[in-house]
Chain A
């Protein structure tokens, strides 16, 4: 597991920064909750004045917004967006770094199979993402418990938080697959930002137009917070879709990586 340890070390700093940023973000946002709910009538009137399309784009549901869980699920949209970028950065970065920094020759002339290289790198990426999520989610829950007087279901809170994990996993493997296929990418963010934002925009436009079936096309909509709050469950077909997408991306990454020629650096 030497590659695994090596990758954990080399991504530790950026992961700590991401984790702190996400955590600080949610802590600060939750501070706003009392302000929004202090005078519900005023806030409601304010939001009602927004056109319906704008509310849809912001994923604003006025029926749930004034409960802690509703408020949290709204904030989570932004956390998930940032988390998707982080995950895809790691996924694409951990694979493409050997090409970008021309160290692929060094690594692959060592006595290690390409399967092992890929496995250890994916495991390292997974560990980093899960570490981020554990810190983020436990801090958010603890902070909400301390801050908010109103009682709320910790189970639903965690189920909502898990959206972050699910979305990150998809973007992680998407990133890894992308970097495996296009090994000549020069910069990771030039790939991850457009991809993440494109899928986020698909989500927004889909919400505005209330389009049919658009949810299948953007991981940001696989897990609907309103549904989770209402039923205390995930939608099975999207769980299955999630698993299928992840499995396909991982399988494709292995197949391509195992067969691929490593381009010469000269």
Chain B
């Protein structure tokens, strides 16, 4: 079942492009990555799903319900952590979290227990005032308010900024745990390593359009190889004019490129060369990603 489904979702801010014809299907139980540079439309998509902004055209459903018509009902089961968190400065952390909890139809005792647990896990003091918190600690408040009601869909928009590496690890474990317990996760980021670590599938967005949706494992393991070749003679730059080559770099007698396609085509080409060395590596998502974003 698709937990989130968008159909030609489009948003313009006046004349300015937000997103264009975004079609996404997020399956129940998966951790879905959403990746693209700043300004590509990740937040716009997420904010539309949360009806913080309204689409110019197209539609979307979450839990099979129209996002606009059933907004409050849907949000009952959503936990949202934005990239930058702001809370009522004069409140104490515990008051803020209780206020947040008061919006959800949940057992009070259960929620209170959950707040305490999460605060302990993340090492957050509950009696401090929000205005006295460091940015990282505010982020922790954000994590707790997003998870305290055990949502079925967790939406994380560039969530790791401000968290130190150790806390990031704790946070990722927490997200994985929630996912194991049945929560679906939409994880947006411009940092590929994060997505690679956490996600099952990933949608790549560029200039408001989804350019690819693929399994993270597929992208990494099957399709792309980073090839580096060292030869005794200089290679003609047109020698590797075959399909599937990108990011071609030549330096003296060494060339390197990303290859996607039938590996036999490539090996046949390589046979004709006098090699002194050969590297075949799994590229990381970063390299693939950069390739996608290369200007033609």
Contacts and interface: CB of A to CB of B under 8 A. Distances in A.
B80 A109 contact: yes
Interface string B84-102: 1111111000000001101
B47 to A, nearest CB: 7
Interface stretch (B69-77, B118-126, B165-173): B69-77
Interface stretch (A44-52, A54-62, A100-108): A100-108
Interface residues of A, number: 21
A265 B157 CA distance: 13
Interface string A246-266: 000000000000010110111
Contacts, number: 65
Contacts of B61: none
B52 interface: yes
A213 interface: no
A261 B86 contact: no
A252 B75 CA distance: 26
Interface in A97-125: 101-106, 108-113
Given A105-B52, A110-B100, A111-B103, A262 B47 contact: yes
A187 interface: no
A6 interface: yes
B75 A111 contact: yes
Binding site of A, secondary structure by majority: helix, strand, loop or mixed?
loop
B72 A111 contact: yes
B87 A112 contact: no
Contact of B72 (A101, A103, A113): A113
Given A103-B87, A111-B73, A111-B104, A259 B54 contact: yes
A2 B102 CA distance: 7
B83 interface: yes
Given A10-B90, A262-B47, A110 B103 contact: yes
B78 to A, nearest CB: 7
Interface string B25-39: 000000000000000
B145 A106 contact: yes
Q: What does DSSP make chain B's interface, helix, strand, loop or mixed?
A: loop
B82 interface: yes
Contacts of A104: 52
A109 B50 contact: yes
A230 to B, nearest CB: 48
Contact of A101 (B51, B76, B88, B100): B88
Contact of A6 (B51, B76, B99): B99
A264 B54 CA distance: 13
A204 to B, nearest CB: 38
B43 A262 contact: no
A112 B105 CA distance: 11
B173 to A, nearest CB: 24
Given A110-B100, A111-B103, A113-B72, A101 B52 contact: no
B103 A2 contact: yes
A264 B43 contact: yes
Contacts of B78: 109
Nearest to B89: A101
Contacts of A108: 50-52
A261 B99 contact: no
Contacts of A259: 54
Contacts of B80: 105, 109
Contacts of B90: 10
A259 B43 CA distance: 19
B75 A266 contact: no
Contacts of B51: 108
Interface of B: 13, 43, 47, 50-54, 71-76, 78, 80, 82-90, 99-100, 102-104, 145
Given A10-B88, A104-B52, A108-B50, 14 more contacts: A2-B99, A102-B86, A105-B82, A106-B100, A108-B51, A109-B50, A110-B103, A111-B73, A113-B72, A261-B54, A262-B53, A264-B47, A265-B84, A266-B43
17 contacts: A6-B99, A102-B84, A103-B86, A105-B47, A105-B52, A106-B86, A109-B50, A110-B104, A111-B72, A111-B103, A112-B72, A112-B75, A261-B13, A261-B52, A264-B43, A265-B82, A265-B86
Closest 6 CB pairs of A and B: A102-B86, A110-B103, A2-B102, A111-B75, A261-B53, A111-B76
